[in-house]
Amino acid sequence: KKKGRQALRRHRIVRMCQEALEQGGLLTQEDLGQLLTTSVRTVRGDIAYLRRTGVTVPTRGSHR
């Protein structure tokens, strides 16, 4: 059950970051934490995991 919530949250992070980028903006990790009602620490861990697995997650401060 926890893995399902984790996978869903990670999917939502990728989707929200991609949508923000398409609209000309970038979200911060703090923005994502508020939108997902979770801690910034959790968001950071999820983003680190996604990037290690080769997923591009454009966030403010990391996008070039």
DSSP class per residue in the chain: -HHHHHHHHHHHHHHHHHHHHHTT--B-HHHHHHHTTS-HHHHHHHHHHHHHTT----BTTT--
pTM value surpassing 0.75: yes
Q: Tokens in use for 30?
A: 């703090």
pLDDT tens profile 20-40: 999 999 999 999 999 999 999
- The answer to whether residues 7 and 18 touch, using CB atoms and an 8 Å cutoff, is no
Residue 1 has pLDDT above 70, yes or no: no
